[in-house]
């Protein structure tokens, strides 16, 4: 019995269970950014150094996604999802107990290991339950857990960190992860491992140029959003003039933009996948370019933060793109999508931190972000040229051979 046959009657419940895991992941990933001032005080470090804690988590995602996807090739997807959430719970529980900055780096790296593999496998399971022309919408539903986290989970976590301690936030995320493991065990279909799957077979995805180009779009193009979001709380206080207690409301605006994007954009992507990705990159570049101009006024800042959030729909679009170009090596390619986005999560805060440390101000992250979005758009253009074999590209290749 196939995965789809066992769950065809209840795809919505399976999507809900998977989205709860996305909610847990989104809460810990984005709350770590919004809790930047509290983490700095609690660990005895400065604001730019907090970026290293965030980057440690992102590095865990980058390393863990391909490693777990390859080594678990012969596991059933349901069993793997339960195990990944258990590991995620352990990493966050340890983060809540971290005694020092050094240990925090280690524990955030551990917590990041299952992130990419979870979203990758969850996306494959979600897409397998619906017709082919609704795959991006199914992936978007899983991603809704992450985006709803930015509306509800992150503002609540930020408030909890301010009232009590950031340690309680990571403890709460660990509890959410265990809840997800239970829901997946209860609701997800029991599936048999693919007999033809193997670690070496999964690695064949890396032979495909379009896989690398799609990953490049995410790794560079998505970095712009992270460059801004990481330092958004500090910018709102230092530049916009909001009080710390008002910051969660603005974070909810960002999350509302991401949620609306994941509800609406996949419908267009299921009809025209790559054009939708290109439009999203252009949208992000424009919104990020306006960020320094908008930051001085609370109303223009609200509109711009919402617009930047809309660009977050790129994740679901590129996830489906990887399903199309990965051939039979679906698990590795799906997991690598989140390695790419967390490469962006490492690059964006790092470059944004460099700009701030160099004295260009908190809003300079918008210019950095715009550059990264345009870089992703350039890679998107190369992917189209390679895929369509445009005459100029073909002529160039012939000249090179001669």
Sorted by where each starts, the structural domains of the chain and their CATH numbers stand as 3-397 (1.20.1250.20)
Alpha-carbon distance 326 to 203, whole Å?
A: 10
Token pair 């609306």 in the structure block, residue: 260
Residue in 33, 64, 45 with CA at minimum distance from that of residue 102: 45
Q: What is the pLDDT of residue 400?
A: 37
Residue 235, CB half-sphere, CA atoms under 13 Å: how many?
Answer: 30
> What is the pLDDT confidence band of residue 198, given thresholds at 50, 70 and 90?
low
DSSP result, 229-287: HTTHHHHIIIII---GGGHHHHHHHHHHHHHHHHHHHHHHHTTSHHHHHHHHHHHHHHH
Using one digit for the tens of pLDDT, what is the confidence trace for 51-64? 788 888 878 888 88
**Mean residue pLDDT across the chain:** 85
Q: Supply the pTM of this predicted model.
A: 0.78
Using one digit for the tens of pLDDT, what is the confidence trace for 206-247? 788 899 999 999 999 999 998 998 899 889 999 999 888 888
Residue in 349, 373, 183, 176 with CA at minimum distance from that of residue 288: 373
**What does the block give as tokens for 384?**
């189209």
**What does the block give as tokens for 269?**
């992507």
Give yes or no for residue 70 having a pLDDT over 50: yes
Which of 197-206, 217-226, 391-400 holds the top average pLDDT? 217-226
> What is the pLDDT confidence band of residue 286, given thresholds at 50, 70 and 90?
very high
Q: Are 357 and 48 in contact (CB under 8 A)?
A: yes
Element (H, E) at 374: helix 364-388
Residue in 264, 267, 317, 3 with CA at minimum distance from that of residue 129: 3
Give yes or no for residue 199 having a pLDDT over 70: no
Q: What is the pLDDT of residue 85?
A: 96
Across residues 191-197, what is the average pLDDT? 65
> What is the pLDDT confidence band of residue 4, given thresholds at 50, 70 and 90?
very low
Give yes or no for residue 401 having a pLDDT over 50: no
């Amino acid at each position: 019995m196939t995965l789809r046959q066992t769950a065809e009657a209840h795809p919505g419940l399976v999507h809900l269970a998977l989205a709860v895991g996305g909610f847990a992941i989104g809460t810990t990933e984005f709350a770590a950014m919004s809790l930047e001032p509290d983490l700095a005080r609690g660990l005895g470090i400065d604001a730019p150094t907090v970026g290293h804690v965030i980057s440690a988590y992102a590095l865990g995602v980058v390393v863990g996604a391909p490693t777990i996807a390859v080594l678990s090739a012969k596991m059933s997807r349901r069993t793997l999802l339960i195990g990944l959430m258990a590991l995620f719970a352990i990493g966050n529980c340890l983060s809540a107990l971290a005694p020092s900055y050094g240990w925090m780096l280690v524990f955030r790296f551990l917590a990041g290991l299952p992130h990419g593999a979870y979203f990758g496998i969850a996306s494959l399971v979600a897409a397998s339950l619906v017709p082919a022309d609704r795959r991006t919408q199914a992936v978007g539903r899983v991603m809704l857990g992450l985006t709803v986290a930015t509306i509800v989970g992150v503002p609540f976590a930020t408030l909890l960190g301010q009232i009590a301690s950031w340690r309680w936030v990571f403890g709460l995320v660990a509890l959410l992860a265990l809840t997800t493991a239970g829901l997946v065990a209860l609701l997800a279909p029991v599936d048999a491992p693919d007999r033809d799957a193997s670690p070496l077979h999964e690695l064949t995805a890396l032979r495909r140029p379009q896989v690398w180009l799609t990953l490049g779009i995410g790794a560079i193009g998505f970095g712009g959003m992270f460059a801004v979001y990481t330092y958004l709380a500090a910018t709102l206080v230092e530049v916009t003039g909001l009080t710390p207690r008002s910051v969660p409301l603005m974070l909810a605006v960002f999350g509302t933009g991401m949620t609306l994007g994941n509800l609406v954009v996949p419908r267009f992507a299921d009809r025209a996948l790559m054009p939708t990705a290109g439009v999203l990159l252009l949208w992000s570049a424009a919104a990020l370019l306006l960020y320094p101009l908008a930051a001085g006024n609370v109303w223009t800042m609200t509109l711009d933060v919402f617009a930047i959030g809309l660009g977050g729909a790129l994740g679901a679009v590129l996830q489906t793109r990887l399903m199309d170009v990965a051939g039979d090596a679906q698990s590795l390619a799906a997991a690598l999508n989140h390695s790419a986005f967390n490469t962006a999560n490492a690059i964006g805060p790092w470059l944004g931190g460099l700009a701030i440390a160099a004295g260009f101000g908190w809003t300079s992250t918008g210019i950095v972000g715009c550059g990264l979005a345009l870089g992703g758009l350039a890679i998107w253009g190369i992917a189209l040229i390679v895929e369509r074999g445009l005459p100029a590209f073909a002529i160039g290749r012939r000249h090179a051979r001669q």
